[in-house]
Amino acid sequence: MVRVTGDQALVKKINKSIILHTIRKYSPLSRAKVSEMTGLNKATVSNLVAELCAQELVTEAGPGESSGGRKPLILHFNAMAGSVIGVELRVKQLTAVLCDLGGRILQEQECSLESHQLPYVLEAMTKLISALIAAAPATPYGIVGIGVGVPGMVDEHGVVLFAPNLGWETVDLRALLEAEFAVPVTIDNEANAGALGELNFGAARDVRHLLYVSAGSGIGSGIIIEGELYKGARGYAGETGHMSIEAEGKPCSCGSQGCWELYASEKTYDTPALPLPARTTPELVAHAAAGEPNTLSHFNTMGEYLGIGVTNLINSFNPQLIVIGGALSEAEAWLGEPLRSVVAKRTLPYHKQELEITFSKLGSRGTVIGAGFSAVMHFLGHIRVTL
Ligand SMILES: [Zn+2]
């Protein structure tokens, strides 16, 4: 009888996870290519791939290119092994998607929010999620998890500690949703979820140093350093919307004043004195497209203020790529030029080298897709290892 020690089991688990994530990210791949990419020997790869095939997480299909001899079978990640629900809670809107394990949206549902009372929001969330669960295709694992992106600070237990734009403090959202649906739930700050969405499915694949700026009802940033999400000492990093950009500026709901999001997010629409023809981004985008002068002027000012905050972030973090996501990414045509021109004028010259600023390829869906991705990673038992 072979006795497996704890260490052997752990090593096997780590190797299996490395193989699974290599296939998930880069398939189609042959076993030989997996062995080459992971540095694991062919026997180990074959054994663990056989386990992954038996678990229906990996499938093999027709022969691939051969360099002579028998043609190899090609491995694929089985994105249809299960499905996940991604949810984004915004100040005025709730969006939920049903995704396969590869981040492909199968169905989408949304509703507007009239209040931020917890029972009301929970009921709306439950309704959307239930509808998507009912629509889910039959898969080996079924619904493997629910991921939620929220506009606020979240601790490691899925408790929303503070969401000033919702008026929420210490809401144990994970426990509430797990009690309702009996599947694992992950709760992320919406900007962190958006950064993960971009990194895995959007504009930032294979980027090592990324700043994802989510600009919508407020501003938050997802910070990726060395390919990993940076959360800070307690998990609250990225509250960039509350960095002061005006020393004697307007008072903010966070208790400070002159915060960035008061000048460069949808919060600017609330200023009654502004002669705007509408107060939501989709409506203003339509007005801007029709050339309405007040909207054009307002988007130009917002773009400049976005540029000021982005400059501060570039000078602090020296990223390779900045992605602007969130609801305001739909206004790229009018925000992009003033933003880039302020950054070009103000950023330190060395930081500008090889820096790219782009708007989200996932549009306003980056967060729901990223929230679903967190649930996928939880299901696949993501293990951090340094290769
Ligand atoms: Zn603030």
Cα of 303 vs centre of ligand 1, distance in Å, is 19
Residues 6 or more apart in contact with residue 11 via CB below 8 angstroms: none
Which residues have CB less than 5 Å away from ligand 1 (the ion)? 242, 252, 254, 256, 259
Domain-wise residue ranges, the chain = 6-77, 81-194+368-379, 203-361
Q: Are 242 and 260 a contacting pair, CB within 8 Å? A: yes
Cα of 261 vs centre of ligand 1, distance in Å, is 7
At the fourth CATH level, which superfamily is domain 81-194+368-379?
ATPase, nucleotide binding domain (3.30.420.40)
Q: Are 147 and 188 a contacting pair, CB within 8 Å? A: yes
Q: Look at residue 349 in the predicted model and tell me its pLDDT.
A: 81
Q: Look at residue 382 in the predicted model and tell me its pLDDT.
A: 55
Q: Look at residue 1 in the predicted model and tell me its pLDDT.
A: 56
Q: Are 179 and 186 a contacting pair, CB within 8 Å? A: no
Intrachain domains 81-194+368-379 and 203-361 with the same fold: yes
Cα of 242 vs centre of ligand 1, distance in Å, is 4
Q: Look at residue 3 in the predicted model and tell me its pLDDT.
A: 63
Cα of 244 vs centre of ligand 1, distance in Å, is 8
- How large is the C-alpha radius of gyration of the chain? 23
Cα of 96 vs centre of ligand 1, distance in Å, is 28
Q: Look at residue 164 in the predicted model and tell me its pLDDT.
A: 84
User: How far is the C-alpha of 335 from the C-alpha of 235, rounded, in Å?
Assistant: 30
The string of DSSP letters for 133-170 reads HHHPPP-SS-EEEEEEEESSEE-TTS-EEEETTTTEEE
Give the model confidence (pLDDT) of 282-306 as tens digits.
999 999 999 999 999 999 999 999 9
Q: Look at residue 4 in the predicted model and tell me its pLDDT.
A: 59
Give me the residues of the chain with pLDDT under 50, please.
Answer: 383-387
Cα of 222 vs centre of ligand 1, distance in Å, is 17
Arch. (CATH architecture) of 203-361: 2-Layer Sandwich (3.30)
Cα of 253 vs centre of ligand 1, distance in Å, is 6
User: How far is the C-alpha of 280 from the C-alpha of 267, rounded, in Å?
Assistant: 10
Rounded alpha-carbon distances, angstroms, from residue 329 to 161, 343, 344 = 27, 17, 20
User: How far is the C-alpha of 69 from the C-alpha of 30, rounded, in Å?
Assistant: 14
The string of DSSP letters for 22-86 reads HHHHH-SEEHHHHHHHH---HHHHHHHHHHHHHTTSEEEEEE---SSSSPPEEEEE-GGG-EEEE
Quick one: tokens of 130?
């239930």
Question: What topology does CATH give the domain 6-77?
Answer: Arc Repressor Mutant, subunit A (1.10.10)
The torsion angles phi and psi of 355, rounded to 5 degrees, stand at -90, 135
Cα of 163 vs centre of ligand 1, distance in Å, is 11
- 364: helix, coil or strand? helix
Cα of 43 vs centre of ligand 1, distance in Å, is 56
